[in-house]
Amino acid sequence: MEPITIFVLAAGILSTLMVYVAMKVSHFGESKVLGDELLKAKTDAENNKKKLAGYTQYAEHLEAARQSAADRLKASPVRVLREYSHVVALSKSKHNLKSEATVIVKYAVEFSLGLDTGPNGLVVAPAANGVSVTLKPPSPVGDPKITTVSHQVISANELPDRQMALADIQSQFLPLAYGHAQSLCAEESVRALCTLKAEIALRDALAQQAGVRHLPAFFCSYK
């Protein structure tokens, strides 16, 4: 066989081998890229799955959140400050008065109102579009704090003992405040304030639960 023929054949075989090797290298590179992309897609899918689970995870933690919120609500009652006026016609004989006397006293009362945070008082349940919260109406907690703001005496003569007269009138404030507290608990504005406090406590408690990424809407109502 002619040397040049051998050279041509050898060159052709070498060229074929180089093309084959190049194709194998190219195929390996493409396979690696595809493998990396597939791994990334799987990782992204798992991460998205976890994220999506976080949007409904709250439903599994409602009772834990309820208990945590109940503890917070017990420790922090709703405080409402109101001012009242009390008009008293003093007894002439009791206060040794020379003429009729009327005293107008303005006083402020700070009420502490609490919610029933037991399982039947603070009821939390999943709803179709969020969380349903059912409450019992608020009730007074402890004694009201009473402060005298001002007073005015209407009389033709000075009171023989102004301080005693005022002390006698102020002794009436606590029973009056208890009556005001009961009326206060039935007011829509006060109930709305208690509802807001309960919702904030539940929302904060739920946000602290593991895996919860999304906080649902809360729908509160009273029994």
Find out whether 97 and 157 touch, Cβ atoms under 8 Å: yes
SS3 76: coil
Question: In the block, which residue shows the tokens 């704090």?
Answer: 145
Residue 124 CA: distances (Å) to CA of 3, 132, 139, 221: 95, 6, 20, 11
79 has pLDDT over 90: yes
Q: What is the pLDDT of residue 83?
A: 97
220 has pLDDT over 70: yes
Average pLDDT of the chain, as a whole number: 83
pLDDT digits (tens, 9 = 90+) for 177-212: 999 999 999 999 999 999 999 999 999 999 999 888
User: Which strand (E) or helix (H) includes residue 150?
Assistant: strand 145-155
DSSP 113: E
49 has pLDDT over 50: no
Residue 15 to residue 112: CA distance in whole angstroms: 94
DSSP 142: S
* Across 111-121, average pLDDT: 95
* Across 160-177, average pLDDT: 94
Residue 79 to residue 173: CA distance in whole angstroms: 18
Q: Where are the alpha helices (DSSP H) in the chain?
A: 3-56, 62-75, 162-170, 173-185, 188-207
pLDDT over 70, % of the chain:
75
Q: What is the pLDDT of residue 213?
A: 84
Residue 95 to residue 81: CA distance in whole angstroms: 32
Residue 223 to residue 136: CA distance in whole angstroms: 6
Assign 16 a pLDDT band (cuts: 50, 70, 90): low
Does the predicted TM-score (pTM) go above 0.95?
no
Residue 153 to residue 216: CA distance in whole angstroms: 57
> For residues 53 and 66, which has the higher predicted lDDT (pLDDT)?
66
**150 closest CA partner among 109, 100, 181, 108:** 108
Q: What is the pLDDT of residue 7?
A: 45
Q: What is the pLDDT of residue 158?
A: 87
* Across 89-99, average pLDDT: 89
128 has pLDDT over 90: no
Assign 93 a pLDDT band (cuts: 50, 70, 90): confident
